[in-house]
Structure formats: structure tokens, C-alpha cells
Amino acid sequence: MPKRNRDAPALVYASAAHDPSLCDRLREAGWSVELIGSAHELERTLRHAPAPNVGLLEIGDEHPGTMGAMLEHCVGAPQVHWIAAVTTNQLRRAATRELIGCYCLDYVFLPYAFDVVESALRRALRLASLLRGVSHAPPLAGGQSIIGRSDPMQALQREIQKVAYTDAPLFIAGESGAGKELAARAVHDASSRAQGPFVAINCCAIPPTLVQSELFGHERGAFTDAERRKIGHIEAANGGTLFLDEIGDLPLECQATLLRFAQDGTIQRLGSDVSIPLDVRIISATHVDLEDAVRSQSFRFDLYHRLCVLRIDVPPLRERSTDIHLLAFHLLGLYAGERKSRIHGFTPSALRAMLLHDWPGNVRELANRVRRAIVMADGAYIRAVDLGLGEPPVRRALTLADARDEAERNCLIEALIAHGNRSNEVAEELDISRITLYRLRMRHGLQDIAGLMPPDFPERRK
């Protein structure tokens, strides 16, 4: 193997029959080129430093006969940004188009036009250097970061920063699995209490008979099983934040005790009449409509007003569809674990299926589906079926006749508008007779284009 120039960008050139003049010109242009003709050679090259980040994947007409296994290995190397080189013949095959669409950054045609292939490789190199050191979907600290760049999520992030400044009780509304607890945690982390405890309690997960002692604690002997003193969750949150999840499910008798704490900031352990002053910020959440619960008298009106001084709403996932892919890749990075090197992403149809799904279970549902898909996927890319989603309908391919029709209509509209609907001028520009123009307007339903004209355009007819 020739010695590599460590400063030259490394390029792996995979082909069943390498083009020697292309290799020479690439080397002249400063690339350190590795020629690969087998899966074994590819593996060996990827082990050497500096590992190539850019690859040229030649899919000539002899594929898949000689190149089948080789291609599989190439696309299984996610650290390499591939540019495909294909013949027009190959590009007619749906399998080739899918392979390029899923695994390659771009493609060029064979036979090679040197400038075209070199500039595609340079683009791949620029992208590779941007991503150097960044894994495909970096797991974030503790998996706790709020992911989302959509407008609703940016608005939520701003609200979180604002409400973090104060100690006033905060209520977080949102559908199940939308990220209420994550938002509560973010408020705590952004507040002056960040160094204090964050205690989260799911009110509906505690048996009703135990709620009082779980929340407020008890003294030894307070009841039959109370063998020793127990600090309750509220006291454990002293100096920090208490997150009361599913507050709507809190039994009415507990609501009265909680109201006392919300009003004067003190608690009494069960079996004690000593009031303990606490410094706790309350954040509560529920997926049920709390106003409705107040109307039906299953939730105390006075407690509602104590807890809902501030309110933020976590939007459902279907209202922030631009975040779905971002979240999916984030979750993939989070859950893939040791399979990370095997699973590189999602197929285009899986990505489309995610956008079409309604996500009633919100981010939790997405997380569960991604976890399941990581286990179920056979290949390097997760398919819609691995996510338990139906294949999305195939986008209708445009026939040549349709494309011509569309182009003809657009061309007519542009000319009619440009010439203020004046037939003589339009016919002259389009180099057709007035009769043909009339026929075309009838065919495309463009007899009356007033609706297509800008409002202040004086329509003149000749």
C-alpha cells in the first residue's frame, strides 16, 4: 500500500474497474486516493489513519454482479460521505436510485467529467470536515435536553427562561408524553434553585391511602406500619423544586393538605403537630383539563388558583412537525447504544411516514417506536415498518406528458401576465398564431386570467 500524505484529503475510490486516468488526475489535484475493489480492502482502508471521509462509489453497468457485496459494505460505512458515479442505464433502475438516494450525498454520471466529479468530492469533503468529531445524532447530557427548533418549541424555550426567574407556582399543560416533565426540569435547571433538589412525584402512581404520608412524611408510630420517621417528598424538595405530575388525579382530601402548604409554605408530618417551614417551588402538570375538573368539582377551585399562578403549554408533537426528524435522530443516538455503528438513520419513506403520522402519544410514542425499530431493523437504515408505521403512499411520478402540460400552462400564464393579457404580444413572444393561443387558453382553462393578475394590473384587451 503506498504511503499516505497525511495532509492530503483521503478519498476511497470503490470500483470493479478503476479508471486510471481519473486516479492520476485526482492525485494531481491533491487527493490521497485509495483504490478499493473488495469489501475486505474497504475494511482495511477504513482502519488506517487518516480514515477517508469521502468516497467515490462507482456503479457501472456490471453491477450488481461484481459489485453487490462491495456496495453493501460501502454504504455500511457511515463515516464516509459517498458520491456515486453511475451510468444513465443504471440510473433507470429503481434499486440504484434508492441506493443513491438513501446512502449517497450526490451522484455524477459515467463516463467521468473530471471537473464535475472533483467538485462533488470537494463538497463532500467540506461537509465531512463540518461533521468531524460530531457523531450522527449526539446523545445529549443525560438525554434531558429539550430538542426542537420549531416556532412553538422556541416560544416554549423563551417561556421557560422567563418563568425560571420567579418562584411563583407554575402549571404546565400538555398532552400525555408531550414533554411536560422535561419542561419542568428545564425550568428548575434554569432557576436559582438549580443546585437544589428536583423531586418529581406522579400523583396517580401513589395508592390513595399512602398519598398523605408520601407527600408530607410521618413520625414514628403515626400509624400501624410507621416503624420509623419518614421524610415526605415535599420536605425532600426543600431548597429546590417539587414537580407534581398528574395533579388532576390527587385525591380530594390530599388537595386540602396541599392547599395549606401552597398557602403558607409549611407542612406537618403525619403524627406530628409541629409545622415545618419549607422553601419549595411547586410546578404541577396534568394531561387532563384542569378547568374541567374544577367545574366537575373533582379538583378544588382554591387549589387550582394557588397552583396555576403561571402557566405554560407544551404543544403536541403534531403541531411541531418540523421537529419530528430532529427528535427521531436524537432519540436514535440516545437509544442505539452499541448498535450505533450498525444503524445509520432512517430511509426516506420512514421519514415521510413519521411526518404523516398523527402522534397521539407525542414524543414518548416516538421514543418507543424508535427503540422498537432499533431492535427490529435488519439493515443499516430504519424503515417505516420497523417503526410500526405503514408505508407512506408513493409520491405520484410525473409522466413526461404531465410535465410538458404543466410547463406549457406555466409558460402561458407567465406570458399572459407579462403582456397584460394582450393576445397579439403573447402570441408573438411564444411564437405561435393567435388561433393556437386561443386553443391553448381553452385547453388550460385560461380564458379568464383576471384572478391570476396582480390586483393593480390594468387588464387591456386587443
Ligand X SMILES: Nc1ncnc2c1ncn2[C@@H]1O[C@H](COP(=O)(O)OP(=O)(O)OP(=O)(O)O)[C@@H](O)[C@H]1O
Residue 181 binding Mg ion, by CB under 5 A: yes
Residue closer to ligand X by CB (options 117, 363) is 363
Residue 148 binding ligand X, by CB under 6 A: yes
Residue closer to Mg ion by CB (options 245, 386) is 245
Question: Least distance in Å: CB of 206 to Mg ion?
Answer: 14
Residue closer to Mg ion by CB (options 34, 245) is 245
Helix then strand count (H, E) for the chain reads: 19, 16
Query: CA-to-CA distance for 255 and 203, rounded, in angstroms?
Result: 11
Q: Which single residue brings its beta carbon nearest to ligand X?
A: 179
Question: Least distance in Å: CB of 340 to Mg ion?
Answer: 28
Which of Mg ion, ligand X, none does residue 374 bind (CB under 5 to 8 Å by kind)? none
Residue 371 binding ligand X, by CB under 6 A: no
Residue 4, SS3 per DSSP: coil
Under rule CB under 6 A, which residues in 350-369 are in contact with ligand X?
A: 363-364, 367
What DSSP string describes 259-328? HHHHHHSEE--BT----EE---EEEEEESS-HHHHHHTTSS-HHHHHHH-SEEEEEPPGGGGGGGHHHHH
The cell for 288 is 387532563
Residue 179 binding ligand X, by CB under 6 A: yes
Residue 175 binding Mg ion, by CB under 5 A: no
Residue closer to Mg ion by CB (options 176, 321) is 176
Question: Least distance in Å: CB of 139 to ligand X?
Answer: 11
The cell for 248 is 388532576
Which of Mg ion, ligand X, none does residue 125 bind (CB under 5 to 8 Å by kind)? none
Query: CA-to-CA distance for 225 and 74, rounded, in angstroms?
Result: 65
Contact of 148 with 167, CB cutoff 8 Å: no
Rounded to 5 degrees, φ, ψ at 247 are -60, -25
Put the strands of the sheet holding 281-286 in their side by side order: 198-202, 241-245, 281-286, 170-174, 310-314
Residue 409 binding ligand X, by CB under 6 A: no
Query: CA-to-CA distance for 372 and 377, rounded, in angstroms?
Result: 9
Residue 146 binding ligand X, by CB under 6 A: yes
Query: CA-to-CA distance for 164 and 170, rounded, in angstroms?
Result: 9
Residue 455, SS3 per DSSP: coil
Part of the chain binding ligand X (CB under 6 A), chosen from 8-16, 142-150, 259-267, 304-312? 142-150
Site size toward ligand X (CB under 6 A) is 17
Which one-letter amino acid corresponds to residue 173?
A
Question: Least distance in Å: CB of 202 to ligand X?
Answer: 7
Under rule CB under 5 A, which residues in 239-268 are in contact with Mg ion?
A: 245
Report the residue from 34, 118, 214, 245 that binds ligand X according to the rule CB under 6 A.
245
Task: Kindly calculate the radius of gyration of the chain based on its CA atoms and give it in whole angstroms.
Answer: 32
Which of Mg ion, ligand X, none does residue 333 bind (CB under 5 to 8 Å by kind)? none
Is the backbone peptide bond immediately before 50 cis, with ω within 30 degrees of 0?
yes
Part of the chain binding ligand X (CB under 6 A), chosen from 48-56, 140-148, 336-344, 375-383? 140-148
Report the residue from 60, 78, 177, 248 that binds ligand X according to the rule CB under 6 A.
177
Using alpha carbons, list the distances in angstroms from residue 369 to 106, 214, 315, 318: 30, 34, 20, 15
Site string for ligand X, 313-342 (x = CB under 6 A): --------------x---------------
* H-helix segments, 84-131: 88-91, 94-103, 114-131
Question: Least distance in Å: CB of 240 to Mg ion?
Answer: 18
Residue 287 binding ligand X, by CB under 6 A: yes
Part of the chain binding Mg ion (CB under 5 A), chosen from 45-53, 72-80, 238-246, 413-421? 238-246
Query: CA-to-CA distance for 191 and 145, rounded, in angstroms?
Result: 15
Contacts to Mg ion by CB under 5 A:
181, 245
Contacts to ligand X by CB under 6 A:
146-148, 174, 176-182, 245, 287, 327, 363-364, 367
